């Protein structure tokens, strides 16, 4: 699942975009911005799929979305972000946090993942997967992916720490989460190499192996 990997790029982004922070009910201004943002991302993804990521320039995206380059960079601080931005991340973190307290971390994790996947409509899932493939195939994207991961890892560490009642900077927690993310990472790339591989199955395999004490 992507969530864990890229998670926290999002809150940072939103904060940086000058939303008022509190207002949960979006005003006209906010909604217009949201639309502009989606429009840019849509055009960007469409161009990437059509002519490849590196052969698409920001200028082209801006033109297609009918905004200036300045505006493009106001919405996405880098070109890569148009791909890496993941709207399911906060959903996952929320589900994870709301799993019953008596569940072991691995079970909570698994259930949260299932719930997120169940909610995604098949059509949206297809689009997501093409986005994932893009990330897996484009070196530049693969490269900028894990910086998001690092922050995401920190957030997940917080959630796990809370669940087991320990401090989030506890070394054991950090190592645990690091191993988890690394394993899922490996499973993710294995899944992208398998033409009709089911991402969720691969990730399940990773979780199961960790749960079993990492046998070889």
| Candidate list 12, 16, 18, 166; residue touching DNA; CB under 7 A | 18
Concatenating the DSSP letter of every residue in 131-186 gives: HHHHHHH-HHHHHHHHHHHHHHHHHHHHHHHHHHTS-TT-HHHHHHHHHHHHHHHH
Q: Under the criterion CB under 8 A, does residue 135 sit at the interface with a copy of itself?
A: no
Best CA proximity match to 154, nearest among 16, 3, 8, 2: 8
Which token pair is 62? Answer: 């801006």
Sign of the dihedral through C-alpha 62, 13, 24, 18: negative
Q: Under the criterion CB under 7 A, does residue 147 sit at the interface with DNA?
A: no
Chain residues 45-84 in contact with DNA, contact rule CB under 7 A: 56-59, 66-71, 73-75, 77-80
Least separation in angstroms between residue 36's CB and DNA is: 5
Least separation in angstroms between residue 97's CB and a copy of itself is: 17
Calpha distance 211→205 (Å, rounded): 10
Chain residues 184-213 in contact with a copy of itself, contact rule CB under 8 A: 184-187, 189-190, 202, 205-206, 209-210, 212-213
Calpha distance 116→128 (Å, rounded): 13
Q: Residue 49 binds what, of a copy of itself, DNA, none (CB under 5 to 8 Å, by partner type)?
A: none
| Binding positions for a copy of itself, rule: CB under 8 A | 105, 139, 142-147, 149-150, 153, 160, 164, 171-187, 189-190, 202, 205-206, 209-210, 212-216
């Amino acid at each position: 699942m992507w969530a864990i990997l890229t998670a926290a790029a999002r809150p940072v982004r939103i904060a940086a975009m000058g939303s008022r922070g509190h207002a949960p009910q979006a005003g006209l201004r906010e909604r217009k911005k949201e639309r502009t943002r989606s429009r840019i991302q849509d055009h960007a993804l469409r161009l990437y799929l059509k002519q490849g990521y590196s052969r698409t320039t920001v200028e082209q995206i801006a033109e297609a979305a009918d905004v200036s380059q300045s505006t493009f960079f106001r919405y996405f601080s880098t070109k890569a972000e148009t791909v890496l931005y993941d709207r399911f991340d906060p959903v996952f973190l929320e589900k994870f946090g709301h799993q019953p307290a008596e569940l072991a971390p691995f079970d909570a994790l698994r259930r949260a993942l299932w719930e997120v996947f169940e909610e995604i409509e098949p059509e949206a899932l297809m689009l997501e997967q093409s986005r994932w493939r893009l990330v897996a195939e484009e070196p530049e994207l693969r490269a900028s992916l894990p910086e998001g991961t690092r922050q995401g890892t920190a957030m997940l560490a917080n959630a796990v720490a809370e669940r087991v009642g320990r401090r989030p900077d506890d070394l054991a927690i950090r190592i645990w989460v690091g191993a988890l993310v690394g394993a899922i990472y490996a499973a993710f790339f294995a899944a992208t190499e398998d033409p009709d591989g089911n991402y969720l199955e691969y990730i399940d395999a990773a979780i199961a192996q960790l749960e079993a004490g990492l046998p070889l």
